[in-house]
Amino acid sequence: MSSKNKYNPQPESSRSTYILGGLAVLVIAVLVIGGVIWQSNRSKPRNDGYGGVQNSEVQVALQADGVVLLGRPDAATTVDLFEDPMCPYCAELENKNGQELAQAIDDGKVAVRYHVLNFLDQLSASGDYSTRAVAASECVAETGDAVAYSAFHAALFSPSNQPKENGSSDHTNEELAQIASDAGASDAAAQCITTGAKVEQARTHAEAGRQALAASGATGTPAVVEDGTVIDALSNENWVSQL
């Protein structure tokens, strides 16, 4: 039988197949790169370079229930912000909107009632890190130095300072005191933190904050509430400018 009568299989690959394959790879690459850029922009700090509050008219006060009020007396609106010092999403919010919020506070557009909670104590290496960080926050707020409190709050949630959940270590009281001092807090505030003077009080206040969070209708931290309305601050990057 002549070879021309035999079936000789031919490769199914063709120029069009290669083109389609190349296009598919290109589309995947574009999607991946686009996703990386989107995520980078999503986490990029807004108003980067502004820092913490700077206006001397801004006041800070530790209220009887442990809430820290930061703002000008003539602020146009007040929001409640619930957070835990070990909560990574709280750190994400602070990294994203903290500087933008600081300028809004300086400009008198908003005052913030900080409710610092401790429900993540059990995930800290020491077993009580969140409570001790709440106490540290109260020590700094009690001095009445709004600029130092704003800087300390930002430092508490910075990637270089925030302990990891289920991590092998967290900060001692002495280390928390040093973070406060580096933020400009007074020697009295540092001493208050080092000795743990407000730890038991902070535990009570954090529980009150947890109850307030539940009453607000928010389901977790971070939670931003304005006039009884829960703001989806993590999903809406423009929430500060829309207050």
Structure tokens at 62: 């530790």
Residue 82 forms beta bridges with which residues? Answer: 115, 223
Give pLDDT, residue 192. Answer: 98
| 3-state SS, residue 111 | strand
Give the span between the Cα atoms of 128 and 141, in whole angstroms: 20
Give pLDDT, residue 98. Answer: 98
- Express each pLDDT in 87-111 by its tens digit: 999 999 999 999 999 999 999 999 9
For 165-189, letters b (16+ CB in 10 Å) and e give eeeeebbebeebbebbbebbbbeeb
Instruction: Give start and end residues of each alpha helix (H) in the chain.
Output: 15-43, 88-106, 129-142, 146-156, 173-182, 187-195, 199-216
Quick check: 8 pLDDT over 90? no
Give pLDDT, residue 201. Answer: 98
Give pLDDT, residue 14. Answer: 54
Which pTM was predicted? 0.83
- Express each pLDDT in 118-130 by its tens digit: 999 999 999 999 9
Give pLDDT, residue 24. Answer: 55
Quick check: 3 pLDDT over 50? no
Average pLDDT over residues 76-82: 98
- Express each pLDDT in 183-208 by its tens digit: 999 999 999 999 999 999 999 999 99
| 3-state SS, residue 70 | strand
Other C-beta atoms lying within 10 Å of the C-beta of residue 202: 26
Give pLDDT, residue 4. Answer: 45
Average pLDDT over residues 132-143: 98
Give the span between the Cα atoms of 145 and 38, in whole angstroms: 37
% of the chain surpassing 70 pLDDT: 82
Judge whether 57 and 72 are in contact, CB under 8 Å. yes
Structure tokens at 234: 């993590």
- Express each pLDDT in 22-59 by its tens digit: 665 555 544 545 443 334 445 689 999 999 999 999 99
Judge whether 114 and 84 are in contact, CB under 8 Å. no
Judge whether 114 and 68 are in contact, CB under 8 Å. yes
Sheet holding 78-83, edge to edge: 59-62, 68-71, 111-116, 78-83, 223-226, 229-231
Give the span between the Cα atoms of 154 and 173, in whole angstroms: 18
Give pLDDT, residue 27. Answer: 53
